């Protein structure tokens, strides 16, 4: 709620809890050095004995990426999901050294109904998205039906031909939907989101006109698009080279679960020797500008085996996720400088969002006719525009809530309100640490990044002297160093003459140096005063 990332939702009735998804979020710019963020689960830990089961909507990181941090801390309960979703979860759990049986994964088909405890049953309903085997669900509860769309767009032409189950949504609407929880990501975009087929057509047109090698990057989880690409490559006589660890991983899982069919085996960059440039299509990681991913290494000339050259075409079949704009822009500029042709949106329509725009959101609202409405999967701007959109429809919901992370929403036949909160927010994962970096640590990082650090090491015996070390402050500068040492020393000598306590001597030195540095340089480095007696 209120963000796009680290999705997790718990439903409770009486003494039973069921949970949906367990995602991760990527850090924002001010969360410096953090690798990723997983949701706090204090509430689930406290009520662990009540958890009856778990359902997973789809295999994206913001829905399953937190599971290795969450599931091992809770009792073993059934975890339901579709084949591709579970395939990706298995891969993830094994990376974390969790053995197969430790988590009770249970595969479902779309349309299956699973019972979670005595109060809940969830029916998986197919919704199209940028990854196959994507589900929403209808939750039957003692107070009524909840329809949760999951992430979705209404793609009428997904690569697997399996469209969203609107008929089931309409039926639920007729039976009565007490609450609709729906994807708000693109609630500010008018119209409809383009179909994967449109994107495939545009990609085919672009690739048809390429005379040299083609390098394409997209999200590794974009199985629909990559399937379409495999077909395009086959039709145009190009062999596909998969480049990048996650690209290979997703392709492997998707092939194993039957969601990807390669007309010809993939090549590696080692066995392309015989082929002409126009017989090659490289599918690469790095769509978000990561310097160490394949596209990043190609752009910066750091790839061990491949060097881009004039005549190559690079297609970015992706948009930068907010926060990655600068990194992607840098890569694009590098590619231009290398003299390759660079193809990317919006000049070329080679990417579409996985989330529905206003008309699609309206379709679901119109079919479901919910009594209550909870705009979900969006920042406040998206949630509120989704709520406004609902009010423009023929049968607007009776009540809409804009909820925040941690809100307890109480739902009854005639009740829909925020009735309290539970601890929420993120746990930072940094290196091997989970939760040992907090906002206090991040604040130090931000301060050091802006102003640097200045360490004063004062030694009192035999005669007082001060050593000054800085990092990220200013270029080595003898005169300034000398002045800082002098200011620190004068402060210490005065304190010793006045027989102050060592702590006070240290605080005085801190204050004197802070004032001096601010005046002399206009800056406020993080100061570390140390005194050795």
Q: What is the strand order of the sheet 465-471 is part of?
A: 465-471, 453-459, 526-532
Range 137-196, binding its own copies (CB under 8 A): 188, 190
Q: Which stretch binds its own copies (CB under 8 A): 147-155, 173-181, 203-211, 324-332?
A: 324-332
Q: Which of these is catalytic: 183, 341, 407, 508?
A: 183
Token representation of residue 454: 């200045």
Among 29, 97, 479, 503, binds its own copies (CB under 8 A): 29
Please check if 351 is assigned to a binding site.
yes
Indicate if 183 belongs to the active site. Answer: yes
Enumerate long-range contacts of 268-274, CB under 8 Å, 24 or more apart. Answer: 268/241, 268/242, 269/241, 269/243, 269/305, 269/306, 270/305, 272/239, 272/241
| CA distance linking residue 182 with residue 146, whole number of Å | 11
Range 214-253, binding its own copies (CB under 8 A): none
Type and span of the H or E element at 531: strand 526-532
CB 136 within 8 A of CB 152: yes
Among 28, 208, 245, 305, binds its own copies (CB under 8 A): 28
Following DSSP, what letter does each residue of 338-380 receive, concatenated? TT-EEE-TTTS-----SS--HHHHHHHHHHH--SEEEEESB-H
* Nearer to its own copies (CB atom), residue 14 or residue 33: 33
Range 55-94, binding its own copies (CB under 8 A): none
Among 32, 162, 393, 418, binds its own copies (CB under 8 A): 32
Range 355-394, binding its own copies (CB under 8 A): 379-381, 384
Does residue 45 belong to the site contacting its own copies (CB under 8 A)? no
Q: Which stretch binds its own copies (CB under 8 A): 152-160, 250-258, 413-421, 450-458?
A: 450-458
Among 74, 474, 481, 485, binds its own copies (CB under 8 A): 474
* Nearer to its own copies (CB atom), residue 414 or residue 440: 440
Q: Which of these is catalytic: 148, 224, 355, 386?
A: 355
Q: In angstroms, what is the minimal distance from the CB of 81 to its own copies? A: 29
Does residue 33 belong to the site contacting its own copies (CB under 8 A)? yes
- With 0-12 / 13-18 / 19 or more C-beta atoms within 10 angstroms meaning exposed / middle / buried, residue 392 is exposed
Does residue 405 belong to the site contacting its own copies (CB under 8 A)? no
Residues in the chain: 533
CB 500 within 8 A of CB 427: no
- Nearest C-alpha neighbor of 58 from the set 99, 21, 30: 21
Token representation of residue 22: 């367990």
| CA distance linking residue 186 with residue 361, whole number of Å | 9
Q: Which stretch binds its own copies (CB under 8 A): 41-49, 178-186, 263-271, 470-478?
A: 470-478
How many Cα neighbours within 13 Å face the side chain of 318? 27
Residues forming the site for its own copies (CB under 8 A): 2, 28-29, 32-33, 188, 190, 322-323, 325-326, 329, 332-334, 336-337, 342, 347, 379-381, 384, 430-433, 436-438, 440-442, 444-446, 448-453, 455, 457, 459, 467, 469, 471-475, 477, 520-523, 526, 528, 530, 532
Q: List binding-site positions for substrate.
A: 351-355
Residues forming the active site: 183, 355
Q: List binding-site positions for Zn(2+).
A: 58, 60, 62-63, 129, 151, 377
């Amino acid at each position: 709620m209120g963000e796009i990332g680290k999705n997790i939702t718990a439903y409770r009735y009486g003494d039973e809890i069921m949970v949906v998804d367990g995602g991760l979020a990527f850090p924002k710019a001010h969360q410096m050095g953090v690798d990723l963020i997983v949701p706090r689960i204090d509430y689930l830990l406290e009520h662990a004995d009540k958890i009856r089961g778990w359902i997973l909507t789809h295999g994206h990181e913001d829905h399953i990426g937190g599971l290795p941090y969450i599931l091992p801390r809770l009792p073993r309960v059934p975890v339901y999901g579709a084949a591709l979703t579970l395939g990706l979860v298995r891969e993830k759990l094994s990376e974390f050294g969790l053995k197969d049986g430790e988590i009770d994964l249970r595969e479902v088909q779309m349309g299956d109904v699973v019972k979670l405890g005595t109060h809940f049953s969830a029916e998986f309903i197919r919704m199209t998205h940028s990854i196959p085997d994507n589900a929403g669900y209808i939750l039957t509860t003692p107070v009524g039906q909840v329809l949760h769309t999951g992430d979705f767009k209404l793609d009428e032409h997904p690569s697997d031909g399996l469209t969203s189950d609107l008929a089931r949504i309409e039926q639920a609407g007729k039976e009565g939907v007490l609450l609709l929880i729906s994807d708000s990501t693109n609630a500010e975009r008018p119209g409809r989101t383009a179909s994967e087929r449109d994107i495939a057509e545009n990609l085919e047109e672009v690739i048809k006109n390429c005379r040299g090698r083609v390098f394409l990057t997209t999200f590794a989880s974009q199985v629909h698009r990559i399937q379409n690409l495999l077909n395009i490559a086959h039709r145009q006589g190009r062999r596909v080279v998969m480049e990048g660890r996650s690209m290979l991983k997703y392709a492997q899982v998707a092939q194993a679960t039957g969601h990807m069919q390669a007309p010809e085996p993939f090549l590696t960059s080692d066995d392309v020797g015989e082929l002409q440039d126009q017989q090659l299509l490289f599918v690469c990681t790095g769509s978000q500008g990561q310097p160490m991913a394949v596209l990043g290494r190609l752009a910066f000339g750091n790839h061990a085996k491949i060097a881009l050259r004039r005549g190559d075409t690079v297609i970015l079949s992706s948009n930068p996720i907010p926060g990655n704009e600068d990194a992607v822009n840098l890569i694009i500029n590098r590619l231009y400088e290398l003299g390759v042709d660079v193809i990317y949106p919006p000049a070329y329509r080679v990417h579409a969002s996985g989330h529905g725009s206003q008309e699609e959101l309206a379709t679901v609202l119109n079919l479901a006719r919910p009594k209550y409405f909870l705009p979900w999967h969006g920042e406040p701007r998206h949630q509120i525009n989704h709520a406004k959109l609902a009010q423009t429809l023929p049968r607007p919901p009776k009540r809409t809530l804009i909820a925040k992370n941690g809100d307890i929403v109480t739902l009854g036949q005639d009740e829909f309100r925020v009735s309290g909160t539970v601890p929420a927010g993120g746990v930072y994962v940094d290196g091997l640490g989970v939760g040992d970096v907090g906002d206090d640590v991040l604040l130090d990082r931000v301060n050091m990044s802006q102003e640097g650090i200045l360490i004063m090491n004062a030694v009192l015996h035999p005669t007082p002297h001060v050593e000054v070390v800085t990092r990220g402050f200013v270029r080595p500068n003898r005169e300034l160093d000398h002045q800082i040492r002098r200011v620190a020393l004068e402060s210490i000598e005065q304190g010793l003459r006045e027989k102050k306590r060592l702590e006070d001597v240290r605080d005085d030195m801190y204050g004197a140096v802070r004032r001096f540095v601010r005046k002399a340089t206009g800056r406020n480095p993080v100061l570390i005063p140390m005194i050795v007696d």
